[in-house]
Structure 1
Amino acid sequence: MARWRSTLPALLLGAVSVVVLAQGVSDVVGQGETSGKLGATADLSTAPRVTIDRPKPTFMLHERHRRVHGLKPFQQLVDAAPAGSVLRPAPGTYAGPVVLKKSLTIEGDGKVIIDAGDKGTVFSLEAGKSTLRGLHLTGSGDNHDTDDACLDVRGHGNVLENLVIDNCLFGIDLKQSSDNIVRGNKVRSKPALLGVRGDGIRLWYSNNNLIEANLVTDSRDMVAWYSHRNIYRGNEGRRSRYSIHFMFANNNIVENNRFIDNAVGIYFMYMEGGGARNNLISHATGSTGMALGFKESSDIFIENNDIIYSAIGVGSDLSPFQPDTTIRFKGNRFAYNGVAVQLTSELGGNEFTDNIFEGNITDITQGGRGKGDRNKWLGNYFDSYQGFDKNKDGFGDTTHEHYAFADQIWMEIPAAGFFKTSPVLELLDFLERLAPFSSPELQLRDTKPRYNKPPRMAK
């Protein structure tokens, strides 16, 4: 009883606080209703940046590699340059790290090297409206906890151009940084196993950036997480894991890129809007090889891409996810893939028009039973089409239908995929087609297949 009496005043005070808080919220809501939608007049562009990542550690000179001992610190040049000026350092190699907190243009002309001696981050750009051009940044640390990088960006409206970035864990790392231009850079990670490399170019809560004409090789991924309305144009990615991995990132555009010899081409995860066009994605092979992947994503266009020599051309899981939305494949070429299109859900909503399917081991696998008519197929070219074009209108006289016969074995039992295209499965498939002892599963139905292989038709 004594304990109850001692806590009663605190409980009463808490109750009063709740009432007051509730009254305050009610007043705010009331104001919002009289002046428009709550928050409609907020200007988030002027909101202060919230720094929630770990501070960058500092290292003494003796902790850094001996190759940087005796080098002039580049920070001295930055500190001496007036804000808004152009800094043109003398050619040579300088010691990092560098922290830039004022607007500045630094022109290296490809003759300036900044080396952090294998510790920490090489260059931290914490200002806006700055330009870094023609620098060689190298020698970051290898600590994932502190995101050791060659270039750490924490500002808006910067231009990062013609940089050479190598021997770094993370390459170019943008966090809460928008309206930047990242163009013409060459990025390479530290020589390490694929899973423990850093990301070549990473966007985190960063919007409206242009990522253009960069070469990213031997890194882990290019990623855009919680980052919207960015454009990836004219880049080339080789020998990495994900060419680009989107997650909770809406309305991003990927166009005119070349992604070759990566485990995964472009992966759309929890994404809405945007899409990919005019890209080449080739040789996404291995046990996880996939040119285009979708996970619970919606309202995306895929146009005029070359998707070739990959284990899986399109791998889609629960996509489109939002009701009454579609994922639209138009004018693409799926050639020489193991499985051109793999749909693992029964939701439907995928539209395939004017695409080319040639040389694939399997054109389509559809999850579920009897769900092959929930997606739209129209005007596609299949080299496996077995009809005729008697009226010479360019379209087949009969519907193209794809059924799974013996293929159903490896589709339902993944381990059996090892025997795909083996003589025994080919014989079993032949016998199934002659005299089915089980009902084959419809995978797709195109009511107007093209008879002649067309040129690209997407605009």
Structure 2
Amino acid sequence: MRPHEILPNIKVELVTNGLRIACVGMLLASFAIPVGVAAEFESSPDLSATPRVDVDKPVELVPLSERDPRIHHLIPFQKLVDATPAGGTLKPKPGTYAGPVLVDKPIVIDGAGKVTIDGGDKGTVFVLKANSSTIRGLHLTGSGSHHDTDDACINVRGNNNYIESLVIDNCLFGIDLKQSSNNVIRNNQIRSKPLELGVRGDGIRLWYSMNNRIEGNRVVDSRDNVAWYSNGNVFYRNYGTRSRYSIHFMFANNNVVDSNNFYDNAVGVYLMYNENTVVRNNIFSHSNGATGMAIGFKEASAVQIENNEIIYCAIGIGSDLSPFQPGTTIQVKGNRFAYNGIAIAFNSDRDGHYFLKNIFEGNLTDVSVGGAGSAKRNVWRGNYWDDYQGFDRNNDGVGDTPYKLHAYADRIWMEVPHARFFKNAPLMEAIDFLERLAPFSDPELILHDDAPMFHLPRKARK
């Protein structure tokens, strides 16, 4: 019997809703469900007909009378929903309507980009608690500001729905999916409330939601986009900027991140306790600051990083205790690391990484390893290194001699992170030069590439 068949029969009597969520979350995490994405992995189980376990905090729709007076004179949108039969289509007249809204039957709502629903700055604006519905062309605004009630513009609690072409602003959370599978979230514009970064809500949040397609969305000035305990989802051609995490995966397996553009976020994609995820054809740029990182691994396994542009970031890829599962690897292939502070940063000496046919150009440091270790136990082959010193006498495009990266004075700041502040100081540069000119001891070999690419690939040339 699978976990999703067991859970509906379990009742957990706890004192608070918060404890209930934590308990069920731990239970879900204890089951490793190998699910996947079409054409990448085996398909995930179809949860669309599975009874929902009501583990999330119930959404209290604050009455119109208790919301901001600015919306009291507006027509309640709920009246239009109530008058629409199941399976029907609602095309409201252009204008502004009052929230809150609860849709608990399969219908189509099409605002054609001319309908606004204002929540009056309290509670959640719109709740979809149905399957096989379409919500399109609405402007949702004015949720509450409370994290304890997860105030959002739209909560999705159903399967096989389409949420598309919405404009979402002045809402704490944008689109919140819980136990909702096989939905399409497409072409939405999302912006959180104008708060400090850490207290904003998430733009798009998935919790125990499988096989959803998140496509063509524009998320600006939110906190994170997250996928927790959510398998088999596809994030395709989204744009995110001025947020903390572009996408934060945790206990979420078999997801695909493809052809997205993430600019000026603290972190691009972060994979925690994650397996079988593909990150390909994306652009990560300007992930700077003390924690700036384009792609990060924390105890992740069986990850593919392919054909990404990683430019102007503090750290390109950061790897911490990854790959975690025995016998798995992390494949980093065909990516371009350009003008980053550190292209690849290992927290410790760990094997299982394959770096193949990548481009390293203009980085202050190509590879760093913490804990007095090295990266030579990993596979490095066919990469382009802009500081390679060698020849290609037979014109086969491969350097005649291996590329070797040694640590000289670099070892100081690798072992003492606070010393990184002085990395490019004149004294450190002088020490590094003397170490290379007349080393007092053998330098540490960081990596060895037997077949370095000799010419910069044409697609990467300016």
- Structure 2 length normalisation: TM-score? 0.88
- 1:309 aligned onto 2:304: no
Deviation for aligned residue 1:323: 0.8
Deviation for aligned residue 1:194: 0.2
- 1:408 aligned onto 2:411: yes
How far, CA to CA, are the matches of 1:162 and 1:58 in structure 2?
24
Aligned to 1:120: 123
Match of 1:197 among 200, 206, 210: 200
Asked whether the 8 Å contact 2:62–2:123 carries over to 1, the reply is yes
How far, CA to CA, are the matches of 1:431 and 1:222 in structure 2?
47
Aligned to 1:11: none
How far, CA to CA, are the matches of 1:43 and 1:55 in structure 2?
25
Asked whether the 8 Å contact 2:48–2:159 carries over to 1, the reply is no
Aligned to 2:101: 98
How far, CA to CA, are the matches of 1:233 and 1:47 in structure 2?
27
Aligned to 1:273: 276
Whichever residue aligns with residue 248 of structure 2, its letter is H
| Deviation sequence 1:381-409 (CA, Å, 0-9, x none) | 00010111111111111110111111111
Asked whether the 8 Å contact 2:279–2:305 carries over to 1, the reply is yes
How far, CA to CA, are the matches of 1:401 and 1:262 in structure 2?
33
- Pick closer, same or farther for the CA change 1:377–1:324 going to 2, 3 Å: same
Deviation for aligned residue 1:145: 0.8
Match of 2:421 among 418, 430, 434: 418
Unaligned runs of 5+ in 2: 1-44
How far, CA to CA, are the matches of 1:193 and 1:367 in structure 2?
32
Asked whether the 8 Å contact 2:64–2:99 carries over to 1, the reply is no
- 1:55 aligned onto 2:58: yes
How far, CA to CA, are the matches of 1:90 and 1:293 in structure 2?
47
Deviation for aligned residue 1:81: 0.3
SS of 2:170's equivalent in the other structure is strand
Aligned to 1:398: 401
Match of 1:215 among 215, 218, 240: 218
| Deviation sequence 1:252-294 (CA, Å, 0-9, x none) | 0000100000000000111100211100000000000000000
How far, CA to CA, are the matches of 2:230 and 2:124 in structure 1?
23
- Pick closer, same or farther for the CA change 1:370–1:413 going to 2, 3 Å: closer
Unaligned runs of 5+ in 1: 1-41
- 1:180 aligned onto 2:187: no
Aligned to 1:451: 454
Aligned to 1:138: 141
Match of 2:368 among 365, 369, 373: 365
Asked whether the 8 Å contact 1:370–1:442 carries over to 2, the reply is no
Match of 1:353 among 352, 356, 364: 356
SS of 1:254's equivalent in the other structure is strand
How far, CA to CA, are the matches of 2:170 and 2:373 in structure 1?
52
Aligned to 1:224: 227
Q: Which runs of 4+ in 1 moved over 6 A?
A: none
- 1:151 aligned onto 2:191: no
Asked whether the 8 Å contact 1:271–1:296 carries over to 2, the reply is yes
Match of 1:245 among 243, 248, 263: 248
Q: Name the % identity.
A: 63
The RMSD of aligned alpha carbons is: 1.4
Asked whether the 8 Å contact 1:331–1:456 carries over to 2, the reply is no
How far, CA to CA, are the matches of 1:269 and 1:93 in structure 2?
42
Deviation for aligned residue 1:43: 8.1
- 1:297 aligned onto 2:300: yes
SS of 2:427's equivalent in the other structure is helix
How far, CA to CA, are the matches of 2:430 and 2:185 in structure 1?
54
Asked whether the 8 Å contact 1:369–1:441 carries over to 2, the reply is no
Aligned to 1:80: 83
Deviation for aligned residue 1:115: 0.5
Deviation for aligned residue 1:367: 2.9
Asked whether the 8 Å contact 2:61–2:124 carries over to 1, the reply is no
Whichever residue aligns with residue 235 of structure 1, its letter is N
Aligned to 1:342: 345
How far, CA to CA, are the matches of 2:304 and 2:104 in structure 1?
40
Please say which of residues 257-266 and 54-63 is displaced more in the overlay: 54-63
SS of 2:391's equivalent in the other structure is coil
Deviation for aligned residue 1:109: 0.3
Asked whether the 8 Å contact 1:304–1:456 carries over to 2, the reply is no
Asked whether the 8 Å contact 1:142–1:169 carries over to 2, the reply is yes
Deviation for aligned residue 1:46: 3.2
Q: Larger Cα Rg: Structure 1 or Structure 2?
A: 1
How far, CA to CA, are the matches of 2:372 and 2:289 in structure 1?
28
Please say which of residues 187-196 and 63-72 is displaced more in the overlay: 63-72
Whichever residue aligns with residue 104 of structure 1, its letter is I
Whichever residue aligns with residue 120 of structure 2, its letter is G
- Structure 1 length normalisation: TM-score? 0.89
Asked whether the 8 Å contact 2:64–2:98 carries over to 1, the reply is no
Aligned to 2:433: 430
Deviation for aligned residue 1:231: 0.3
Whichever residue aligns with residue 77 of structure 1, its letter is L
| Deviation sequence 1:318-367 (CA, Å, 0-9, x none) | 11111111110111000000000001122210000000000000000123
Aligned to 1:322: 325
Deviation for aligned residue 1:442: 1.7
Asked whether the 8 Å contact 2:47–2:181 carries over to 1, the reply is no
SS of 1:78's equivalent in the other structure is helix
